């Protein structure tokens, strides 16, 4: 049984490990206090004055609880759950709340089973939410078909499942759609995550009355204040495509709204951005610079998430909790010295002790398309244009004269051609439209990462390169492709469901960074992530207009455009 943690807490026995002479964050009183942290096994035995078999002098350092990402799609990291958690734990993220609706859209229950199995033994605490909106709307074609009440019920009893994932079908909730409401009612005693961009007025009240508890889609100060006042927890998002933290934090501080109902999340974040900027540590650092008190910023990143998602023994540096700790050289600048996870110092030797083997190889064969030709992606000029909004997932619907020949749209540097190809072997449909604000020239980008149904999405300034990039994805069974001058110039294979690589995170991060830089050199605009922004252009729940394999879709009217 090991040492008696109670005897260690009382000072009658030595701890296994003691972090000595630090300033320790007390999240309950929001103050840093001097002392030691005594660790026995994977738990904190006590905070105060202790001695141990092993002691680490932390004079001049600060100790805070491990960070928790309150809403993340592991699949969007493009690496396996093991590789993702190995990557983020070094940045102090010792817990995540994962919503696997990306892989479930592609593979159904097989995808859900994979995520649960692959997160069973990883260097981070992983809570899982059962996807609620598969597919995100009835307007698109996914690989799994509908994931209904009978499909999700078996997962309710899983010890790491906390509830229903983001309820993207918020219109269904407001209108009392039977299939959606059956899921909501089944999870009425669980946590139900929200997703309601731009919702306002009585609809906000109705969404909360349905039992939805939070939202991570706030984009303006007015929206975040209204939703907090309506009783929602707010997940302040700072991803690679959607960067909402600055606007939301400024809005809350200016309105003098308490931050106790706020959590941090990444939603979708590139490994490259984690490498260069950080993960939850980046959120904390940015919040502090915007004026959030240091102690409060760390509390938002840990205790608030642990409490809301009922993550046991997490979110505080106190006796009985898991020894998930971030040791800092500088608290204000979030300069990490080292990380402790479950009593272990996070280093390469410890991280390499974790292993996982994929059990279901059908997850490696999910791109089912015929060879695409230039004829397949022709587009009549109708004047409807999808315009990107820098640093946002929102789009604008514009009516503009686009370049054309014989009434057929011809893309250029200003107006890219956006193409969506159904890739699950369901119908082979192809949607095409003009897109403004992407900026690529002399080439094209294509990917199987396309939220949430994950059909192939591509954009370019000429048809030949678009077709070349799309066809390469069939060969690689998913991934990122850049084509130029009629040939593939770079590729990142994502073999697991067309979403995740079988390679290690460092290799994927380096290749992603290389391809992002290449896309930038080809003209993709600043404020637009070449891949992540593109991957949201088929998601028919974020205003104003999207493109699916069936054509352009007006999100405001919830109907296809003709």
pLDDT reported for residue 2 = 61
Residue 37 falls inside a structural domain: no
Q: Are residues 119 and 260 in the same domain?
A: yes
Supply the range of the domain harboring residue 408: 364-560
- Tokens 């080292």 correspond to 338
Q: List the one residue out of 253, 261, 537 whose CA is nearest residue 387.
A: 537
Residue 286: inside a domain? yes
Would you write out the chain's pLDDT as a tens digit for each of its 562 residues? 467 999 999 999 999 999 999 999 999 999 999 999 999 999 999 999 999 999 999 999 999 999 999 999 999 899 999 999 999 999 999 999 999 999 999 999 999 999 999 999 999 999 999 999 999 888 889 999 999 999 999 999 999 999 999 999 999 999 999 999 999 999 999 999 999 989 999 999 999 999 999 999 999 999 999 999 999 999 999 988 788 999 999 999 999 999 999 999 999 888 988 999 999 999 999 999 999 999 999 999 999 999 999 999 999 999 999 999 999 999 999 999 999 999 999 999 999 999 999 999 999 999 999 999 999 999 999 999 999 999 888 899 999 999 999 999 999 999 999 999 999 999 999 999 999 999 999 999 999 999 889 999 999 999 999 999 999 999 999 999 999 999 999 999 999 999 999 999 999 999 999 999 999 999 998 889 899 889 999 988 888 999 999 999 999 898 999 7
Find out whether 426 and 456 touch, Cβ atoms under 8 Å: no
Same domain, yes or no, for 551 and 402? Answer: yes
**For residue 15, is it within any domain?**
no
Place of tokens 């909790």: 321
Which DSSP string corresponds to 246-305? HHHHHHHHHTT--STTEEEE-BS--HHHHHHT-SHHHHHHHHHHTT--HHHHHHHTTHHH
Do 417 and 376 form a contact (C-beta atoms < 8 A)?
no
Phi, psi of 282 (to 5 degrees): -65, -40
131 and 222 both lie in a single domain: yes
Domain boundary among 294, 315, 336: 315
Q: What is the pLDDT of residue 1?
A: 42
**311 in any annotated domain:** yes
How far is the C-alpha of 388 from the C-alpha of 397, rounded, in Å? 9
CB atoms within 10 A of CB 178: 8
Query: Is residue 410 domain-shared with residue 542, that is, in the same domain?
Result: yes
- The pLDDT score that the predictor gives to residue 481 is 98
* Domain of residue 194, CATH code: 3.20.20.140
**Whether residue 384 sits in one domain with residue 282:** no
- One domain for residues 418 and 556: yes
Residue at a domain's end among 281, 315, 349: 315
Q: Single out the residue in 258, 286, 315 at which a domain terminates.
A: 315
Is residue 400 one of the residues assigned to a domain?
Answer: yes
Within this chain, do residues 274 and 389 fall inside the same structural domain, yes or no? no
Number of domains in the chain: 2
In a domain, residue 429? The reply is: yes
Alpha helices in 55-199 (DSSP H): 81-89, 101-107, 109-118, 149-152, 170-175, 178-186
In a shared domain, residues 380 and 262: no
């Amino acid at each position: 049984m090991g040492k008696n943690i109670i005897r260690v807490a009382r000072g009658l026995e030595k701890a296994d490990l003691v972090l000595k002479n630090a300033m320790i964050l007390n999240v309950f009183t929001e103050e840093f206090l001097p002392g030691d942290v005594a660790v026995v096994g994977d738990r904190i035995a006590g905070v105060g004055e202790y001695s141990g078999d092993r002691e680490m002098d932390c004079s001049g350092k600060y100790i805070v609880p491990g960070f928790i990402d309150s809403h993340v799609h592991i699949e969007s990291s493009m690496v396996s759950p093991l590789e993702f958690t190995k990557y983020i734990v070094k940045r102090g993220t010792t817990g995540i709340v994962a919503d696997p609706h990306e892989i479930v859209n592609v593979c159904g229950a097989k995808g859900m089973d994979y995520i649960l199995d692959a997160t069973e033994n990883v260097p981070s605490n992983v809570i899982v939410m059962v996807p609620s909106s598969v597919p995100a709307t009835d307007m698109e074609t996914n690989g799994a078909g509908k994931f209904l009440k009978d499909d999700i019920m078996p997962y309710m009893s899983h010890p790491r499942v906390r509830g229903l994932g983001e309820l993207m079908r918020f219109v269904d909730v407001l209108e009392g759609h039977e299939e959606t409401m059956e899921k909501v009612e089944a999870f009425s005693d669980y946590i139900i995550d929200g997703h309601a961009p731009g919702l306002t007025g009585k609809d906000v009240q109705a969404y909360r009355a349905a039992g939805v508890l939070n939202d991570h889609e706030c984009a303006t100060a007015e929206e975040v204040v209204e939703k907090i006042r309506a009783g929602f927890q707010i997940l302040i998002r700072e991803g690679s495509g959607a960067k909402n933290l600055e606007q939301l934090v400024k809005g809350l501080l200016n309105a003098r709204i308490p931050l106790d109902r706020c959590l941090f999340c990444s939603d979708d974040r590139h490994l490259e951005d984690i490498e260069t900027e950080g993960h939850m540590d980046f959120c904390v650092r940015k919040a502090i610079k915007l004026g959030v008190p240091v102690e409060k910023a760390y509390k938002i990143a840990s205790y608030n998430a642990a409490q809301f998602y009922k993550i046991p023994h997490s979110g505080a540096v106190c006796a009985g909790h898991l020894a998930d700790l971030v040791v800092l050289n500088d608290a204000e600048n979030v300069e990490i010295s080292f990380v402790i996870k479950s009593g272990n110092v996070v280093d390469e030797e410890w991280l390499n002790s974790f292993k996982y083997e994929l059990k279901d190889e059908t997850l490696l064969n999910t791109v089912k398309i015929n060879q695409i030709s230039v004829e397949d992606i022709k587009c009549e000029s109708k004047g409807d244009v999808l315009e990107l909004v820098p640093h946002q997932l929102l789009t604008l619907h514009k009516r503009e004269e686009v370049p054309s020949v014989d009434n057929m749209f011809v893309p250029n540097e200003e107006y890219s051609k956006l193409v969506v190809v159904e890739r699950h072997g369901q119908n082979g449909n192809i949607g095409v439209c003009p897109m403004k604000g992407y900026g690529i020239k002399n080439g094209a980008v294509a990917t199987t990462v396309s939220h949430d149904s994950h059909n192939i999405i591509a954009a370019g300034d000429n048809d030949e390169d678009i077709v070349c990039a799309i066809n390469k994805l069939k060969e690689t069974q998913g991934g990122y492709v850049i084509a130029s001058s009629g040939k593939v110039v770079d590729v990142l294979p994502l073999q697991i469901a067309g979403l995740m690589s079988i390679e290690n995170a460092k290799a994927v991060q380096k290749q992603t960074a290389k391809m992002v830089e290449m896309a930038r050199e080809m003209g993709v605009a600043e404020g637009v992530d070449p891949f992540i922004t593109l991957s949201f252009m088929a998601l028919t729940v974020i205003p104003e207009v999207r493109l699916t394999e069936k054509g352009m879709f007006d999100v405001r009217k919830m109907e296809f455009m003709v």
